[in-house]
Structure 1
Amino acid sequence: MSVPTLPNLRHLRALSLTARHSSVNRAAAEICLSQPAVTQAITKLEAELGTFLFERTSSGMFVSDFGTIIINRVDRALEILGKAIVAASGGSPDSPPRDPLRHITTAQLRALMAFKDCGSFESAANALSISLLSMQRTVAALERVVGAKLLLRSGRVLLPSAAGEILARGAKLAAREIEVGTEELENLRGYKTGRIVIGSMPLARVDLVPHAVTSLLRSFPDISVRITEGPYASLIAALRSGDSDMVVGALRNTETYKDIEERLLFDDALSVVVRSAHPLCRYESLSLADTIGYPWVVPPTGTPTRDIFHKAFRSRALMEPKRLVEVSSSVSLRAFLVESDRIAFVSRRQLHYEEHQGLVKVLPIDLPEAHRPIGVMLRRDWKPSAAQSDLLTLLNAPKGAADSHSQVISPVAVRRTRTGTSLAQG
């Protein structure tokens, strides 16, 4: 497993302070290093990035255009880390210590990130190519500096504590900021490279995300795009830690994450769908009551579509169908629909190809309340790169969003903010 790369923290702080004061000497005094050490740190970073970050003059060090890009990201990374350290140590964000980063090392943060991702000291040590003893000592040293237990034993297993989760997440977000900064430097040089990771729920990965990504790659042909799938909770966890850049799909109605904002793309209507040879296809007029005697295939409990399923029957004072098969996979849902007489609430966008091929049909049942908001979920303080911004714009105008079964409501309107855990996708 690859552990996120995070440059030497002292070097990053030396860079940031030199930019702030336009002086190596003042930066050195503030960070408690010698002037040659700060100069060497900046020179090393410039060599790694392949560009000069400052214009050296007799009156001081002045940030270049390339330097402005990376220093903005470095400052964001250091701010994220500082807040995470304060939160992990149980301190108050309103009165943080003077220099929370002073005694933290990159090696310590990488050890914690590796443990969080790998799940054990042994696997984390292998990922970092260090000894098990060194791994254990490094994490123990970080705990002493932070003043909090970062790992707790649960039975025979060690798990990150709440403080460990906070600090590991902050370290990964900081590492991602630096990575995006290097991508922006490449873009300024004329190389449209980088990577975007998109967490996608069932509807979004049928056409919404593929159409937007295909359009993006016309402008950024060399960018790396990865689309990940999984339960809602795991997709949001990846977003919060910087492992993904956005999540696209059905928005939730609960406020469970303070650091996540939801942006509405469009409102998607759900239909009652069956296979084309289903007995109910013989009728030109139907109500929801006519479906009760048939088996259904439904998404997991707690998903927006499952909630709509229950409300539709209850609001009409109807007994809910009893013979249910619960699936979390779009592939399984399609299989049950096409190969049996089961019925489903589903978006026609999600079964566009099956409907076009005549495999499924939409029953003539009027359900005006059966719709769900589709949107994109982002980290609240996220600053997107140029490619990420373009992708958001493309998601705002999804192909077919204004067709007969999907009504566009508002271009990227902020829906709500949330904190906590949630349930599966749907």
Structure 2
Amino acid sequence: MQNFSWIRRVKLQQLRAVLALAESPSLVRASESLNLSQPAVSKILRELETDLGVELFTRTSRGSHTTPMGDMLVERVRVIFSQLERVAQEIHDLNAGLSGHVVVGVLPAGGADFLPRALASLYRAYPGIRVTVIEGTYDHLIPQLQQGAIEMIVGRIPAYRFRDGLEVEPLYEENITFAVCPQHPLLSRPAVALSDLLEWPWIMPLADTTLRQMVESAFHDAGLDLPAAPCESISVITNRRLIMETDYIAAFPTQVIQTDLDTGLLAAIPISPARSFGAVGISQVKERPLSHAALRLVDQLRATARRYE
């Protein structure tokens, strides 16, 4: 049985010193950021290394660098301080008569319609809750989720390669819509086949995105070449406007442009059968409890998804 008694002795100052030196390999700068002398910082780190029985930093003439054990500790310490900051913020908010703060990451498939509707319901039910929304792709949002900078991600459920250490909750199934301007010549045809879409230029999703892979699969499975794509973009704002001004075709998760379809700003090419984009829902870190504010948001997301169904 290993002796973990050092857990009872470890001080936040020691953990701060680890972060300071990892972020600034110069002992001088690390000491200045901690407002301590260099000998004091060196002593703190030696004591921690002695307690753990491993070397956390290698010292060279060019400064200090984390060892593999040091890298692991730094990653965990960042999560610890992130959680402490969140607890302090929640206590402050509750004491100030607010109802908490939640930071949520969002993907395009969740950010255009689904999350805004849930946030509107959240505000009506809990007007004191503050929400920070960070938009991005999974490779951008997953590290922030793992480090505790955001509490959950709303959007398409991630591929298995992104799911390590995550808990996912699918909420509704999303389809893909091929969108054009309302005056597009394709819309005058009585029937449209996938091969007909090759006659027109496309705005193609960026390589390595889920939507790009799905578009490519649709054409390849039908034995077709990919359409000409003068533009590659995942910007919803740019793509919408470009479609309105040209005869380009673009693929969207349906809910991203549902309001545009309803108001006639964009039109959907009627291709059957519908092509699935996959499940949209919530991703969070396994066994990491959500804040009270985040749990309220989850309730509203589930209610919004039920209305979609």
How high is the TM-score relative to the length of structure 2? 0.82
**How far, CA to CA, are the matches of 1:267 and 1:246 in structure 2?**
19
> Which residue does 1:334 correspond to in 2?
240
- Relative to structure 1, the CA distance from residue 360 to residue 101 in structure 2 (aligned partners, 3 Å threshold; closer, same or farther) is same
Q: Is the 8 A contact 2:82 2:147 kept in 1?
A: no
> Which residue does 1:101 correspond to in 2?
7
- Which runs of 5 or more residues in structure 2 are unaligned? none
Letter of the structure 2 residue corresponding to residue 110 of structure 1: R
Q: Is the 8 A contact 2:200 2:227 kept in 1?
A: yes
> Which residue does 1:130 correspond to in 2?
35
Aligned: 1:343 with 2:212: no
**How far, CA to CA, are the matches of 1:324 and 1:96 in structure 2?**
61
Candidates 354, 362, 372, aligned match of 2:278: 372
- Relative to structure 1, the CA distance from residue 149 to residue 267 in structure 2 (aligned partners, 3 Å threshold; closer, same or farther) is same
> Which residue does 1:281 correspond to in 2?
187
Offset of 1:193 from its aligned partner? 3.2
The percent identity for this pair of structures is: 24
> Which residue does 1:208 correspond to in 2?
114
Offset of 1:399 from its aligned partner? 6.3
Which range is displaced more, 373-382 or 331-340?
331-340
- Relative to structure 1, the CA distance from residue 295 to residue 211 in structure 2 (aligned partners, 3 Å threshold; closer, same or farther) is same
1:268-292 deviation line (CA, Å, top 9, x unaligned) = 0111111122221221310110011
Q: Secondary structure at the match of 2:136?
A: coil
Equivalences for residues 14-413 of structure 1 within 5 A: 96-102=2-8, 104-113=10-19, 125=30, 128=33, 130=35, 133=38, 137=42, 141=46, 146=52, 147-149=54-56, 162-182=68-88, 191-398=97-304, 401-402=307-308, 408=309
Q: Secondary structure at the match of 1:382?
A: coil
- Relative to structure 1, the CA distance from residue 292 to residue 222 in structure 2 (aligned partners, 3 Å threshold; closer, same or farther) is same
> Which residue does 1:83 correspond to in 2?
none
Q: Is the 8 A contact 2:115 2:301 kept in 1?
A: yes
**How far, CA to CA, are the matches of 1:257 and 1:346 in structure 2?**
24
Q: Is the 8 A contact 1:125 1:135 kept in 2?
A: no
Note the aligned Cα RMSD (angstroms): 3.5
**How far, CA to CA, are the matches of 2:268 and 2:18 in structure 1?**
51
- Relative to structure 1, the CA distance from residue 191 to residue 370 in structure 2 (aligned partners, 3 Å threshold; closer, same or farther) is same
Offset of 1:192 from its aligned partner? 3.9
Aligned length in residues? 306
**How far, CA to CA, are the matches of 2:32 and 2:202 in structure 1?**
46
**How far, CA to CA, are the matches of 1:145 and 1:238 in structure 2?**
30
Letter of the structure 1 residue corresponding to residue 193 of structure 2: S
Q: Secondary structure at the match of 2:175?
A: strand
Letter of the structure 2 residue corresponding to residue 271 of structure 1: T
Letter of the structure 2 residue corresponding to residue 345 of structure 1: A
**How far, CA to CA, are the matches of 1:138 and 1:220 in structure 2?**
49
Which range is displaced more, 256-265 or 199-208?
256-265
- Relative to structure 1, the CA distance from residue 197 to residue 158 in structure 2 (aligned partners, 3 Å threshold; closer, same or farther) is farther
Q: Is the 8 A contact 1:305 1:372 kept in 2?
A: no
Q: Secondary structure at the match of 2:186?
A: helix
Q: Secondary structure at the match of 1:248?
A: strand
Offset of 1:133 from its aligned partner? 5.0
Which range is displaced more, 352-361 or 138-147?
138-147
Q: Secondary structure at the match of 2:118?
A: helix
Letter of the structure 2 residue corresponding to residue 246 of structure 1: M
Q: Is the 8 A contact 2:109 2:255 kept in 1?
A: yes
Q: Is the 8 A contact 1:211 1:399 kept in 2?
A: no
**How far, CA to CA, are the matches of 1:191 and 1:344 in structure 2?**
46
> Which residue does 1:417 correspond to in 2?
none
**How far, CA to CA, are the matches of 1:361 and 1:249 in structure 2?**
23
**How far, CA to CA, are the matches of 2:81 and 2:56 in structure 1?**
22
How high is the TM-score relative to the length of structure 1? 0.62
1:69-93 deviation line (CA, Å, top 9, x unaligned) = xxxxxxxxxxxxxxxxxxxxxxxxx
